[in-house]
Amino acid sequence: MKRILFFSLFFLLSIYLDVNYLVAENKTDEVQVLLRRPLPEIFLPALMVKAQGDFQSLVIPLKRAGKLIMIEGVVDSVQGNLILDTGSTSLVLNSIYFRKSRRSGNQVSGGITGAMKTISKSMIKMLQISDVFYQNIEADVTDLGHLENARNIKILGFFGLSMLTDFEIVIDISNNVLELHKTDRDGNRLNSKEKRPSFDLNLPVFNSSDVLFVEAKINKRNYVFCLDTGAESNVLSSQLPDKILSTVTVLRRSSLRGVGSKKVDVFHGIMNDFSIGNQSIKGMQTLITNLTAMAESYGLHIDGMLGCDFFEKGVFYIDLKQKNLGVCFHNNQKE
């Protein structure tokens, strides 16, 4: 039975994706974003993964490599860094460190430039991150060596959203902190001493196979964005109306190549007319590129993604059970 799991803006699991780090022809134009693009045709619910640990609330330090957001972990005695990726569903591991894996039939991956790669699977006995751990979980395995080379840091893999369904997630990039709060069936915190603050912004999120989507506005029109901590930059679809794209100040254009020989054009720019809820956010960097294959892989229309540049604007509270996003913006972002 085929399964399709998502791996964030451009990385899918089960007819699967590849994570292709795109490098510009000109080294000065290196694009600091993980562009992952899937190729699947069917979609089934993501697998449930049970987190374990004797705590109600947990604070986990975050690490940064450029604009990659990472957490330290140990996977079957191998210690290293996992990219925190709310745009992917599950656990994806680096084949450099996890070679005892089995091939997954005809499951392949494809990057934004069309490169193909077979995905393998591996059964993990133990994954430990601080005081939270997982036992006997299946992971997808692919070569992530290009990411390690680009950042010169040990990367064990991607830690996706389905690994955190038992928690309310608090992401505070400015203080390099990830908070996990266990919740009851209705999404209320079990730790009554840890109260939620008063949010500057409180809005619904749409969860599709453990990938989060939210509505935001450009030029007063609503568009659908993927919330993706695994991406180093925001991304807009090049197929948005010209009136919308004209609100972006384009800085330069890059010709990028992936693992294969094909190239793709990406525009770098600044968003001047973006708002979410009642909050206007100006000056965020973005890329503009074609997201057609990404939309097909998600099985829904998508207009862009909100990456690290967006998450740097405040403290984000994600309640998966209540399907809610709360944001406390930093003072310099408040109108």
| Token code pair at residue 47 | 């697998």
Domain assignment present for 82: yes
Number of domains observed in the structure of the chain: 2
DSSP readout, 186-219? TS-BS-TTS-----SEEEE-EEETTEEEEEEEET
| Token code pair at residue 287 | 């890329």
Q: Does residue 99 sit in the same domain as residue 244? A: no
Span 74-124, pLDDT tens digits: 999 999 999 999 887 789 999 999 987 555 444 544 444 444 455 788 899
Residue 44: Cβ within 10 Å count: 12
Longest dimension (CA), the chain: 55
Residues of the chain scoring pLDDT < 50: 1-46, 104-106, 108-116, 258-261
Structural domain range at position 62: 9-18+54-181
Domain assignment present for 219: yes
Q: What is the CATH number of the domain that holds 227?
A: 2.40.70.10
Residue 41: Cβ within 10 Å count: 10
Give the per-residue pLDDT at 334: 59
Pick the last residue of a domain from 153, 181, 209: 181
Q: Does residue 251 sit in the same domain as residue 314? A: yes
Give every CB contact of residue 20 below 8 A, 6+ residues apart in sequence: 10, 35, 36, 37, 111, 112, 113, 115, 146, 258, 259
Give the per-residue pLDDT at 114: 42
The rounded Cα 47 to chain-centroid distance in angstroms is: 17
Give the per-residue pLDDT at 34: 40
Give the per-residue pLDDT at 111: 42
Q: Does residue 128 sit in the same domain as residue 260? A: no
Give the per-residue pLDDT at 101: 57
Span 171-195, pLDDT tens digits: 999 999 999 999 999 899 999 888 8
Domain assignment present for 36: no
Give the per-residue pLDDT at 96: 92
